Amino acid sequence: MSALPNTRPVSLDVFRGATIAGMMLVNNPGDWSYVYPPFRHAAWHGWTYTDTVFPFFLWIVGVAMTFSFAKRIERGENAATLALHITKRSAIIFVLGLLLAAFPFGLVFNNNFSFATLRIPGVLQRIAVCYFVVGLLFLRSNYKQQLLITAALLVFYWLAMMLIPVPGYGAGVLEPTGNLCWYIDSNLLAGHTWTGAPVPGFDPEGIFSTIPAIATTLFGVLTGHLLRSEKTAEEKTIWLFVYGSLLLFAGAVMDLWFPINKNLWTSSYAVFMAGMSMVVLGVCYWLIDVRGLIKNLTKPLEIYGINAITVYVLAGLFAKLSWLIKFENADGTLISLKSWYYETLFLPLGDPMVVSFLHSLAYVAGLYLVAYVMYRYKWIIKV
């Protein structure tokens, strides 16, 4: 392993930064009643730009893993040390997700908090689980075994979703209510699922749908092996496009029987988004690492991705605080900080749809300033 190239492509950091910026863009409109369709999740089956963000990030985690672990092995770390690192990092990310869900713990701003209703799944929690499982698999398996495990996870999930009967609904139900993921989450996580889910009891980051999300991360690992191979940069670019196109085609064909669905993280969705990830990275890799054409222009995105988890957590904290902090209007009514600054600074600018999008852009820019200050002062928070 150590004999292969382990310099991480700059394009991967740019891709990660663009993904985090995209996550901030879609998560922070000025008014959820006014959001352009591409910046909403698909209602159920199908996909939009917003549905690419999370799988892109998990896929990037897998790619980056192959490079970071290679460096650690070069430094003399053994499998046991790496396994401990994986476990600690996964636990920290998982706990961060729980703390973000619980903040501010009912202590201030009349916040209602109860352990009985605390959401246990979440974006950071899923990242933690995927990183933990895939990290350990990476240490104990080779490329061919990882490829077989990826395929096995996707086939198992597909068969389970279509063949295991849900009490009162039967087998093969892929609607919000009655599918196997909904049944598992509503029973094992009763009261601890996302209140904004399509139906009560379901969670888009739930237990069973984490299985194909692990496969998404493994697709990233497999791509990392390609990038670390001894092939020329031109050959790597070609294979990124070839494999990516094949996966896109396979996902589109699978969609005929097992629809592309982010909420269920269907096998077709995992395959399709892995293909799209490879194609997008292929474009970035060719332009930045091979040709060096836009390297300077993409520096802001590279900076955005350096403290990716930190940016995500800060965005979540500010979003919560902006709704929880309230003060009196001139007429004596209470208004949240978010409503006040949005109505004062943004709404006067014009069309509600445009203004809501401008708020998202302002959010992205504001968080970039935070990331830039951290970059300038070399504050890298390793989570």
**pLDDT per residue as tens digits for the range 166-175:** 999 999 999 9
Q: Is residue 1 assigned to a domain?
A: no
Q: What letter does residue 326 receive in the DSSP assignment?
A: E
Q: Is residue 36 assigned to a domain?
A: yes
Contact 244, 279 (CB under 8 A): yes
CA distances from 289 to 86, 233, 237 (A): 29, 8, 10
pLDDT of residue 347: 93
User: Average pLDDT, stretch 142-159?
Assistant: 97
Distance of CA 66 to the CA centre of its chain: 18
Q: What letter does residue 280 receive in the DSSP assignment?
A: H
pLDDT tens-digit map of 210-223? 999 999 999 999 99
245 is written with which tokens?
């196109």
**Which pTM does this prediction carry?**
0.93
Q: Is residue 223 assigned to a domain?
A: yes
Q: Is residue 50 assigned to a domain?
A: yes
Name the region of 172 (left: φ>0; alpha: ψ -120 to 50; beta: rest). left
The radius of gyration of the chain's CA atoms, rounded to the nearest angstrom, is 21
pLDDT of residue 334: 87
Q: Is residue 279 assigned to a domain?
A: yes
CA distances from 126 to 23, 168, 212, 308 (A): 15, 29, 11, 15
CA distances from 124 to 319, 322, 370, 380 (A): 16, 21, 20, 18
pLDDT tens-digit map of 296-337? 778 889 898 888 899 999 999 999 999 899 888 777 788 889
Look at the chain and report how many structural domains it folds into: 1
Q: Is residue 5 assigned to a domain?
A: no
User: Average pLDDT, stretch 65-92?
Assistant: 91
Does 351 have pLDDT greater than 90? yes
- Tell me the pLDDT band of 106, cut-offs 50, 70 and 90: confident
- Comparing C-alpha atoms, which of 77, 131, 124, 134 is closest to residue 98? 124
User: Average pLDDT, stretch 255-259?
Assistant: 97
Say how far apart CA 259 and CA 134 lie, in whole Å. 25
pLDDT of residue 110: 76
Q: What is the domain range of residue 84?
A: 10-376
pLDDT of residue 3: 42
pLDDT of residue 6: 61
Q: Is residue 35 assigned to a domain?
A: yes
pLDDT of residue 5: 60
